[in-house]
Amino acid sequence: MKKTNDKPDESGIVMKATNSINIIPFDPNNSMNVNAWLKYFNDKYQEYNLDDKWKLNNITAYLKNSALTEYVNSYDTIKTWEEFPSFLTERYISPKLVNLSDFTLKSFQEVFSKDKYDVGTLRVEPQRIVLNSDLPVSLRPYRTSPVEEQEIKSQVEKFLQAGLIRESNSPNSSPVTLAFKRDEGKKTRLCIDFRKLNALCKSDSEPLPFGLSNR
Tell me the pLDDT tens digit for each residue of 96-142: 444 555 556 666 677 777 788 888 777 788 888 889 998 999 999 99
Cα 99 from chain centre? 11
Q: What is the mean pLDDT of residues 62-71?
A: 86
Query: How high is the pLDDT of residue 154?
Result: 94
Task: Report yes or no: 98 and 36 within 8 Å, Cβ to Cβ.
Answer: no
| Architecture (CATH level 2) of domain 123-202 | Roll (3.10)
pLDDT digits (tens, 9 = 90+) for 179-201: 988 776 678 889 999 999 999 99
Confidence of residue 71 (pLDDT cuts 50, 70, 90): confident
Query: How high is the pLDDT of residue 3?
Result: 46
- DSSP H or E run through 90: helix 83-92
Query: How high is the pLDDT of residue 139?
Result: 94
Domains of the chain, by residue range, sit at 123-202
pTM of the model: 0.45
What is the spatial distance between Cα 34 and Cα 92, in angstroms, rounded to a whole number? 7
Confidence of residue 51 (pLDDT cuts 50, 70, 90): confident
Confidence of residue 4 (pLDDT cuts 50, 70, 90): very low
Summary mean pLDDT of the chain: 78
